Structure formats: structure tokens, C-alpha cells
Structure 1
Amino acid sequence: MLPTTARALTHRLAVEQSHYRVPSLLAAVVRAGKPAWWDARGRVDGSAPTTDTQYRIGSITKTMVGVLVLRLRDEGKLDLSDPLDRHVPGAAMGNRTIAQLLSHTAGVRAESPGDWWERTEGGDWAELNTELEGAATVLPAGRRYHYSNVGYAALGELVARLRGRDWYDAVRAEVLAPLGMDRTTPAPVAPHATGWAVHPWADVTLPEPAHDHGAMGAAGQLWSTADDLARWAIFLGGDTDPVLSKDTWEEMRQPATVVDDETWTDGHGLGVQLRRHNGRELIGHGGAMPGFIATVWADPADNTGVLFLSNTTYGGIRGQLDLGMLDLLAEHEPVLPEEWLPATAFDPSLLALTGAWYWGTASIALHLRADGNLELKALAHGGRTSRFRPESADTWIGLDGYYAGERLRIVRTPNGSADHLELVSYIFTREPYPPTAPIPGGVDPAGWHTR
């Protein structure tokens, strides 16, 4: 990080901590797969916090539980369309699907019944499920986004049932340990910050309690450090080995629902929050528990991540430090585009497929990438862009965009040359509406007309 960039980030951090009276505030940036900057203001037990100081991360916990659920899906132990009670019989929201629970579209109530769960000791799943009977859902399934801590308690129980161990033990073994996140724990381990409430009209503080929330723990139990969250930001940015396949990560960050209208800025994927900000498409999550606020965001396109940890109760930070840091990075030290290099090898038969194709009169181009994948790019008339990976001879699978998961098939003539492409129900040809192509509805044998 350039000194001028580091200074701008430190100033932004200092303004946030001072103006909003945060007992301690630590922020960090990761770039190109490694930590690039960090700084802190305030005190923890009389000293400045370090990147090894634990803070509570609240709902960032949900992203790790979400990864476990997707691992179970990849192993064939569940389907995202399964109703919860297929795996957790008798669940009060058992008719809602796993995908709906992951994306907060299940219509499940936001909080558990009874006392404020974030400030009380929690019971086990049986107790929580009994409390939820007849009161688990507040909206029809699949209709709209409705954030639900209770839904993630249910996912925590799902993980426990299918793994035969507590949700945290499964997360630790399958997610945290492989990524080297050894300081992410369900209870604080020194050195750690104390959570504080700051009086709204006086410069005095009040300690907040921290409990084991039992079945509700999967919604926000964990504590972590800047070092560990930096590794999590790198994971969210796409460096998912050995925990998750790249295809599943891509699926995870596709919008399952959006919070606002079609020009959305906030949405939710499978276990992660999504945000559009100044041309960036971010993946991450915020977290808040009494006495703590934290956030982690990654920009996969920029290979950049930002995070902060603080020990102040809700409302103590309002300056959008995380997005402000991203804006400073874009202004002071924008990432250089990846250097273009030609392919080291290629298949000549694929080279023959490149160039212009037509869906009706809409022109598209087929591009052979250096990584061996194909890419459809819209030309003069605009349209859909998608990348495709090879599945078998002359069959390719869509990786993103409108055609994600769909098959692109190359149909050849008897002499082996490419005649046309089939994609979903569409026929792509080398010329607009050639009369010999198998275009549904046929082509007028008189061909193109003049007026």
C-alpha cells in the first residue's frame, strides 16, 4: 500500500472512531490474496488492539454456516430444494426449503420468541422449536426478502443432524481449520475486546453481556480477529480452495433476492449478503451483537477486500466505513488490470468456431479464452454474455449470466465442420436466418426482401 493511500485510510478510520465515539475500532484491507493494510484506534484493556484481538462478529457467522450447507449439497447429502423437515423432522418451519432459508426468502420470523436472544443464554434446538410451534413463519414462502436469525438457527440444526456433531465443530473442522482461521471461536479467547454500549448523550460506557446462545448460535455466535477475517475476505473473493469449489462459490454469490427495486444495491445470495457500490459487485456480510459491530466485504473483480471490527452496540458506527475504504482505494490506488497474455496452447477446431454468430438477426461473437473456456459476447444489438466450460466433445456448460448451467451444443455437418450452435431453445447460425438451418418455424424460401 502506498504511504498516501495508507494515510487516507487511517484518517478515515480515525474520523469514524472519534466522531461516533467507538471504544475501539480496527480496519483492514486485503489485496491480491494477502493483507495489505491495517490500523486501529481506541483501546482494549488499556492498549491499542492488534490484528490478533478477538471481537464478536455476529451475523458474519451465517456465511460460514452457509458454506457448510453448500458443502453438504455438493456431497449429495441434501438438495437446496428440499424442505427442511426432510432432514430435521418436526421443524416448526419444516415446509420451507433450504435454499429459502439460506437466502432469507422463507418467510420465517426474524427473531426467536421470548426474551431478546442476543442478551440471554440460549436453549437447545428442542426448546427453540417448541417455542416456535405455530409462530415460526410470518410471510408466504418465496415471496420476498425477510431477514431471519431463526432461519439460520434451523440451518445450524440441519448441519448438526447431517454431520453428527455441533454446527460449530463442523464449521471448525471443514471451514476454519483448512483456511487457518484458528482464532475464530464460539466464546472469547484472550486477547479479546469487551463489548460496550456508549451512552447517546454522555461520554460514558456500559459493558454488554456475552452468552452462549445455544440453538440460536448459528445466527451470530462467533468471535474472530482481523487476521482471520482477512483470510475470510480472501475466501469470499474467490480463493475457496480447499473448502469449496469455484462453481459453488459462483452459485453462492448469485442474487437469490434483492432488498430494493430492479436497480438494486442490496441483495442476498446463498448464505451471503450482496451489494452494488460504485460499479463494484460485493460479497460479504455485516454482523452486530450487543457491544459489537463488524463487516467484511470482498470485490472478486478487483481482488480486494475490506473489513472492520468494533466494540460498540448498534448505531455506534454510521459512517459506512467499509464502503468509504473501498472508495479511497479506488481514488488513491486503483488496482491495475490483470496483464493480458496469449494462450499457451489451443485447440484449432475451437479456433474455427470463433467470430460472429446470429440468433435471428441479433449478432453475437464466440470468443476462445486463454483459459480454454468459450465466451459469448453480444455485438451490435446488445444481449446476453456468458462463459462456458467444456463438458464433453462439442458440449459446454454455462458458468454465469443468463445461460448459467445451460448446455451449449455444437452441431456439426457430416464433414465435421460446425453447422450451428444450440443453446437452450435457441439456434445460432453463421448468417442471419439461413434457409438451410433448423430454425423453428422455418425460413421463408424466398429469402430476404427489398421494399
Structure 2
Amino acid sequence: MIKAERLARKVQAEARVPALSVALHRADRPLWQVQIGAAEPDSQFRIGSVTKTFTSVLVMQCRDEGLLDLDDPIGRHLDVPAQGDLTIRRLLSHTSGIQREPHGDVWDTLIAPDAAQMLAELDRVERVLPPGRRYHYSNLGLSLLGHLVGRLRGGTWAEVLADRVLRPLGLTGTTVAPTERAVTGYLVDAYSDHARPEPPLDAGGIGPASQLWSTASDMARWAAFLADPAALDPDAAVLRPATLDEMRWPLTTTDEALWMAGFGLGLILVPQGDRVTHVGHDGAMPGFIAGVYGRRGGEGTAAAMGAAALGSSGTAAKIFELPHQLLATAAEDDPADIAPWTPGEPVPEEYRSVLGRWWSEGFEYVFFWRDGALRGRGADDPAGKPPAVFAPEPGQPDVLRTASGREAGELLRLTRNGAGVVERMHWSTYRFTRVQETFEGFSPSA
């Protein structure tokens, strides 16, 4: 990891960061970390809006347990004087249209309202955009969701977070209040090398959006969880992998002209090309900048791969790029080992006649059996594109549901001849045949 350490040292020197701590987590290697300047391995930094990812996971836990629906208005679960019609889904994806901050000038006074005041003043808050119109980032919106979780669980947001996420995942260095290991945050002068400490700020009612402190090793582990939860939480004690799949689906882009990043349910999604995505969040508070991302997809990507860069300068924007650089470097210079192929179980008799090449709409497809499931893909699909995966409907072996990939959720229906051989299929109602046919059923060569 010589190149990775050099990248970190370059950012610390060029961005003039008093303390910088970075870490890389992956399932197949020991934890890698480096500290530069006034940082130790267990130093705590403020992670700012990375806090939102924790709050979002808490919301999805409630959804999975039937305590709420994402399309519920927040007022159904939280007593508010206004804005109660905004849906949980829109608040999670920053498409609610609610203003960015609570009522007042928090960033001028550095006095944040407590939860009760913040909620009581919602009737003084604007809808700056119509709900669903476009992406508009809101600390207020995510804070409301944190207090919603506390209300549903019968405690505070902080108590629920510790009980349902931090302890189960072993994130012992992550706390709501700074500990004795917390470093000081600074504003580094633009025209000299003087660094002035920034004042401390308790986020109060907006704590679910910005309050947490953590270590680089904890945050690299958290990033790995967001990218590959099954590797770190095999029993799904915190969240089901399918739920994190849902959170990672992009619901909006952050810029209408430059599709460089998207937003899912509380998570930022940054495409890297070649079907690689980095998932996580950035954070900024007075004197601190944080970048926390996990890597998904692509050749060389290891299981549970996450990186974190935490710095004690409020203006060192180069820190935001460092996790992405570390992940790319690790995948390229120290790729995951290639697992050997081993023979699998035989294909069930009822699906053997499905395997091979089929045609639909003039295009060729290939259906095959792998890892205990029927799969299908376009014959000309890029190698890295995931195939569709099918699962039989209960009690209907000739009717399968598309579990993932192309046409997810749609049915695949098998039609057999008198000998029991599948001679025709319908996927999403489109006909599939063994030879190329027009929509009227004629061969183009006839």
C-alpha cells in the first residue's frame, strides 16, 4: 500500500490538513490505515453528514419491521405543526423540497435548536421546491427522520443508534459526543500557514444529520457494510442485504447536466465506470471534512471493501476525493484473489430444456444455470453486465419470477410440448423461440 500512503500524504501536505487519518477495510486483507500530522490510530474526527447514512439505516430497519412505509407522510408517525405531508421516501432521497436548515441562522449563531424547538418551528419553514421536483439537500429533512425513529422506538435517536447499529457492528470508536481522543478542528488561513481552531458545535435537534464523531477504522468498516452487508453482518442483525440494495438504487441525480453522482435512500452513489460504484457519503462541519465510501462491482474489488478519509481542516476539499482514490488504487494494485472454479450440482430435470440460445424481438439471448438458479442474458451483453436471475413461483415450476437484473419483478412463463420439452417462453409477455421469428411468427428467411 505504498502508493495509497503516498496519496494520503500528498493530500495532507497540499491541502494543509493539521491531522489526517485514513483507513481501508477489505475482507481478504488486514485493516490498512495511516495517520499524518496530529492524528493517532484511535483519534476521533467529526464526520458531519456521514451521520445521515446511520439515520437512513435506522429508518429502513423500521420499514423492514413494519413500523412504517416509505410512502407514509411523516406526520402519520411524528407530531408536527406543519410539513407533515412530506413522505419518508422523499425526505430520505432529498426530493421533499423542504428547506436545507431548521428555522433561524444556525450557522451564524452556532446555536442549534433542540429537537422540541426544531419540530415546533416547522410552521416557519419553507418548501423551497415542490415535492418530487428535483434533488435539494436538506439537513432538516434527515433530522426529522432521526426523531421519527426515536419516536417509533421509544427512545432518543442517539439511544436507538447505539443499540441497533453501533454495538451490533462493533463500531466502538463512533460516538455522539466527542471523547478525550477527539482532535481539534481548524480553519487554515488561505494566505499563510496559520491554523485557527474552530468553535465546538453541538448539533442539537439536527444531530441525526450531522452529530457523530468517529475514527477512520470505524468509518472504513461502516463503508464496507454499506457496500457489502452480507460480509460484515451475515445474520442480517442490522439490515438485510436486499434492503441495502434498495437504498443503493439511484432515485435522483445531484446535477441535471453532469450525471456524476446520484442519491438513493440516504446514500450518495458515485459511478466509477466499468460498472463500478462507490457508495457512502461526505461530511463537513466547522474544522472537519470526511469522506466515507464502499466499492461495489468491477474486477479486482474485494468483498467488504471500504475506505475513509477524516481530516481536521474545514476547507481541505481534496479529502473528498481521497477515499475514491484509495479504493481504485487498492483494486488495481492489490486486486482480490481469483477464486478457482469448481463443478456445481446438476441442472434440475424440469429446466434442462430451457438452457441454450433463444430469440425474441429479433435479438438473441442465452439462458443458463449457475449457483442454483436459472439465469438469462442478451447474447451480446457486455461481460460485466449482471444476468437476469429467476426463481420459481411457489407451486408453479413453469412460472418463474425475475428476482434481479433485466425485467426484475416480471414473470417468465414456460410452454412445453407433449414430451415435456420447453418449446416456447414468454418473458414480460414477450415471446421467446428457439429460432428467429417476426412478431407474426414467421422466419425471416422463409
TM-score between the two structures when normalised by the length of structure 2: 0.88
Task: Quote the sequence identity (%).
Answer: 38
Contact in 1 for aligned 2:260/2:271 (Cα 8 Å):
yes
Give the superposition deviation at 1:187: 0.3
| Contact 1:57/1:293, CA 8 A, preserved across alignment | yes
Q: Deviations over 1:89-144 (max 9, x none)?
A: 43532222211111111112122221235973433333213333153321111121
Letter in structure 1 aligned against 2:432:
F
Give CA deviations for 1:323-375 in whole Å, capped at 9, x if unaligned. Answer: 222333244223344433332454232333222222232221122112x1332
Structure 1 partner of 2:422: 418
Tell me, yes or no, if structure 1 residue 273 matches structure 2 residue 268.
yes
Of the candidates 5, 8, 11, which is equivalent to residue 16 of structure 1?
11
Letter in 2 for 1:310: G
Q: Does 1:349 align with 2:339?
A: no
d(CA) in 2 for partners of 1:31, 1:284:
15
Alignment of 1:8-407 (within 5 A): 8-32=3-27, 35-43=30-38, 48-50=39-41, 52-90=42-80, 92-117=82-107, 120-240=110-230, 241=233, 242-261=237-256, 264-279=259-274, 280-301=276-297, 302-303=301-302, 304-315=305-316, 317=318, 320-344=321-345, 346-370=347-371, 372-380=372-380, 385-392=387-394, 393-394=396-397, 395-407=399-411
Deviation at 1:402, TM superposition (A): 4.0
Amino acid at match of 1:237: A
Partner amino acid, structure 1, of 2:67: K
User: What is the deviation of 1:216?
Assistant: 0.6
CA contact (8 A) 2:25 2:220 kept: yes
Following superposition, the deviation at residue 449 of structure 1 comes to: 5.7
Consecutive unaligned residues of structure 2, counting only runs of 5 or more, are: none
Aligned pair in 2 of structure 1 residues 238, 110: CA closer, same or farther (>3 Å)? same
SS at match of 1:131: helix
Number of residue equivalences: 431
| Partner residue, 1:432 | 436
Asked if the contact 2:291–2:319 (Cα under 8 Å) also holds between the matched residues in 1, the reply is: no
Q: Provide the secondary structure at the position in 2 that maps to 1:41.
A: strand
Contact kept in structure 2, 1:185 and 1:223, CA below 8 Å: yes
Pairwise CA distance, 1:65: 0.9
Out of 103-112 and 311-320, give the one that drifted further: 311-320
Indicate the RMSD between aligned Cα atoms, in angstroms: 2.7
Does structure 1 conserve the Cα–Cα contact (< 8 Å) formed by 2:3 and 2:329? yes
What is the CA–CA distance in structure 1 between the aligned matches of 2:431 and 2:256, rounded to whole Å? Answer: 33
How far apart, in 2, do the equivalents of 1:64 and 1:315 lie?
24
- Residues 247 and 406 (structure 1 numbering): CA distance in 2 closer, same or farther, change over 3 Å? farther
**What SS does the corresponding residue of 1:374 show, helix, strand or coil?**
strand
Post-superposition Cα deviations, 1:424-445, rounded to whole Å, max 9, x if no partner, equal 33333333348xxxxxxx736x
Residue type at the aligned position of 1:311: S
Contact 2:281 2:291 in 1 (8 A): yes
Separation in 2, partners of 1:313, 1:414: 73
TM-score (norm 1): 0.87
Greater mean alpha carbon deviation, residues 221-230 or residues 257-266: 257-266
Change (3 A) 1:197 1:399: farther
Provide the secondary structure at the position in 2 that maps to 1:178. coil
Which amino acid is 1:356 matched to? Answer: R
